[in-house]
C-alpha cells in the first residue's frame, strides 16, 4: 500500500478519487491521508466476486437493499474514514441516497477479503464503531471466515467459520444462508 504524506480534507479526497487518472485505483481516506489500497490478489478477487454473486441472489429478488463491490466507499463516522470493503450490503429500509462519491453511512454488512498486510482488526473496530451490524473477515488461503458482530458494550464478538459451516445472515440479512464451500475455489 502506497501512502501519500499530505493531509487532505474529505472534499479534497472526493475530488482526487474522481480524477480520470484515479479511475482504476481503490483510494481510501484515513483521517486526512489518502491510501491507495492497490489491486486484490486473483484469489481474493474471485472470492469477493462469489460473495457478491450470492448476496445479490438473495438481496435483489427479496428487494432488501443494495449490494456493493470493491469500488464503493463508505464514510465511517465518528472515526473519520472512507473505507472500500470488498463487498457490502445496505438495507433499503435505511433510505440511502445512491448519488454521490461514497455512501454517507456505514454498511449493514461489510466483507473484507483479507490481504497479508491488512490490519483487519482495526477495520472491524472502525466498522462496528460506525454502526455496521456485521463484518466478515474472509481468509482465502486458510478458507476461514471470521464473523464479527457488535456487543452492547461497544466491542465485538467473533465466530470462526470453516469449510464445514454455513454462514447465516441473521437479523442483518434474514433468510440468507451461504455455504463456505461455495465461496472458496477448490
Q: How confident is the model at residue 1 (pLDDT cuts 50, 70, 90)?
A: low
CB 27 within 8 A of CB 19: no
Q: Residue 34 class from Cβ within 10 Å (0-12 exposed, 13-18 middle, 19+ buried)? A: buried
Residue 2 in this model has a pLDDT that exceeds 70: no
The rounded distance, in Å, linking the Cα atoms of 118 and 139 is 11
pTM of the model: 0.92
Helix (H, G, I), strand (E, B) or coil at 143: coil
The predicted-structure confidence for 153-182, as pLDDT tens digits, reads as follows 888 999 999 999 999 999 999 999 999 999
Amino acid at each position: 500500500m502506497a501512502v501519500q504524506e499530505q493531509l487532505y480534507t474529505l472534499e479534497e479526497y472526493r475530488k482526487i478519487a474522481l480524477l480520470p487518472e484515479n479511475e482504476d485505483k481503490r483510494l481510501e481516506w484515513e483521517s486526512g491521508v489518502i491510501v491507495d489500497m492497490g489491486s486484490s490478489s486473483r484469489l481474493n478477487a474471485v472470492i469477493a466476486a462469489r460473495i457478491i454473486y450470492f448476496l445479490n441472489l438473495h438481496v435483489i429478488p427479496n428487494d432488501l437493499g443494495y449490494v456493493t463491490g470493491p469500488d464503493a466507499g463508505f464514510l465511517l463516522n465518528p472515526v473519520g474514514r472512507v473505507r472500500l470493503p470488498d463487498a457490502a450490503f445496505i438495507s433499503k429500509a435505511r433510505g440511502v441516497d445512491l448519488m454521490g462519491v461514497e455512501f454517507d453511512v456505514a454498511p449493514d454488512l461489510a466483507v473484507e477479503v483479507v490481504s497479508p498486510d491488512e490490519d483487519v482488526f482495526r477495520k472491524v473496530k472502525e466498522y462496528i464503531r460506525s454502526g455496521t451490524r456485521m463484518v466478515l473477515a474472509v481468509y482465502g488461503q486458510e478458507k476461514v471466515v471470521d464473523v464479527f458482530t457488535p456487543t452492547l458494550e461497544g466491542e465485538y464478538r467473533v465466530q470462526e467459520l470453516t469449510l464445514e459451516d454455513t454462514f447465516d445472515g441473521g437479523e442483518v440479512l434474514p433468510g440468507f444462508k451461504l455455504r463456505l464451500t461455495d465461496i472458496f475455489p477448490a
